[in-house]
Homo-oligomer: A and B are copies of this chain.
Amino acid sequence: MEPDVDNVTIRAANQRFYDAHENRDLAAMEAIWEHSERIVCIHPGWPILRGWRDVMASWQRILAGPARNQFILTNLEVGVDGDLGWVTLDENLMDGPATSTVAATNLFIRDGTEWRMIHHHGSPVMR
């Protein structure tokens, strides 16, 4: 595959992650992640979560929670090397009149013609 094709398909996988979050779609969220024990998720302010069970339990809780998260994604860059892709971006969260920004790192690993998320790290950007 050409690197630019990888770039496009990684961006698409990254977008599906945010779509699943916005749509509170746990099945879609589960489909995006690698089903393994090596996955890692660090939500803003949270400790490190490792492995399928703990990571998915956190998404179940977040997607069932009260926050209505609408994301405007900006400042997005993609890196690729071999079967690993990394995405960095700003998640601009719109919640009523308030906005806040989370800086995010997302890692994806090639799985045939797809990319599976193996790592998500979000951190609040202080004003």
Contact = CB atoms under 8 A, between A and B. Distances in A.
Interface stretch (A6-14, A17-25, A58-66, A116-124): A116-124
A1 to B, nearest CB: 14
A95 interface: no
A46 to B, nearest CB: 7
Number of copies of this protein chain within its complex = 2
A71 interface: no
A126 interface: yes
B50 A103 contact: no
B48 A75 contact: yes
Given A84-B84, A88-B40, A105-B105, A47 B79 contact: no
Contact of A84 (B40, B46, B82): B82
Q: Which of A75, A81, A83, A119 has the most CB of B within 10 A?
A: A81
A47 B83 contact: no
